[in-house]
Amino acid sequence: MSLLAGTNTIRTTAIGSSGANIDHLKVSESHLRVNFQKSGAWIPSGFLPDYGDAFADRGNGYSYGWDIDITADARDRNLITDQKYDTLNHMQKAGNRTWEIALPNGTYDLVIGMGDPSTADFINNIDVEGTVITDPDPYDNFDEYSVSITVGDGRLTITTASGAVNAKICFVDIGEVSGGDVSPPSPDPMTWAAVPYATGTDSIAMEATPASDPSGVEYFFTCTAGGGHDSGWQDGTFYEDTGLEAGTTYTYTVTARDKSPAQNSTAPSTAESATTDSSCTPVDCHVESIECTVVNCKPPTKSGQVTVTIYDNCGSPVVGALVDGTFTGDFNETIYDMPTNENGQAVFVTAGCVKKPTYMFCVDDVTHGTLVYDSGDNVETCDSY
Q: How many CB atoms lie within 10 A of CB 382?
A: 15
Q: Nearest-CA neighbor of 187 among 205, 209, 220?
A: 209
Give the pLDDT confidence score for residue 13 in this predicted structure.
63
**Per-residue pLDDT at 177:** 53
Question: Residue 329, by phi and psi: left (phi above 0), alpha (psi -120 to 50) or beta?
Answer: left
CATH number of 192-275: 2.60.40.10
What pLDDT, on the 0 to 100 scale, is given for residue 9? Answer: 64
For residue 2, report the phi and psi dihedrals to the nearest 5 degrees: -105, 135
DSSP secondary structure code for residue 276 in this structure: P
pLDDT tens for the chain, 385 residues: list them: 445 444 556 666 665 555 555 544 545 456 899 999 999 999 999 999 999 999 999 998 899 999 999 999 999 999 999 999 999 999 999 999 999 999 888 889 999 999 999 999 999 999 999 999 999 999 999 999 999 998 888 899 999 999 999 999 999 999 865 555 678 999 999 999 999 999 999 999 999 999 999 889 999 999 999 999 999 999 999 999 999 999 999 999 999 999 887 789 999 999 999 999 988 889 999 999 999 999 999 999 999 999 999 999 988 999 999 999 999 999 999 999 999 999 999 999 999 999 999 999 999 999 999 999 999 999 999 999 9
| 170 Cβ contact list (under 8 Å, min separation 6) | 35, 36, 84, 85, 87, 88, 113, 114, 115, 142
Q: What is the DSSP string of 334-367?
A: EEEEEEP-TTSEEEEE-S--BSS--EEEEEEEEE
Task: With CA atoms as reference, report the closest residue to 56 among 44, 47, 65.
Answer: 65
Half-sphere CA count of 250, side-chain side, radius 13 A: 31
Residue 248: its pLDDT value, please? 95
pLDDT of residue 1: 47
Asked if 302 contacts 353 with a C-beta cutoff of 8 angstroms, the reply is: yes
Rounded to the nearest 10°, the torsion over CA 351, 357, 362, 365 is 0
Domain ranges of the chain: 32-174, 192-275, 284-384
**Angle at the Cα of 53 (from 50 to 59), degrees rounded to 5?**
70
DSSP characters over 190-233: --EEEEEEE-SSSEEEEEEPPPB-TT-EEEEEEEEESS-----S
DSSP 54: B
Nearest residue to 47 (alpha-carbon basis) of 87, 14, 12: 87
CA 75 to chain centre: 44
Residues near 81 by Cβ (< 8 Å), separated by ≥ 6? none
Which CATH architecture best describes the domain 284-384? Answer: Sandwich (2.60)
- Reference 356, options 300, 290, 292; nearest CA is 300
Residue 91: closest CA among 57, 131, 50, 130: 50
- Beta-carbon contacts of residue 277 (< 8 Å; ≥ 6 apart): 198, 200, 201, 246, 247
Which CATH architecture does the domain made up of 32-174 adopt?
Answer: Sandwich (2.60)
Q: Confirm whether 32-174 and 192-275 share one CATH topology.
A: no
Q: Cβ of 266: how many Cβ atoms within 10 Å?
A: 24
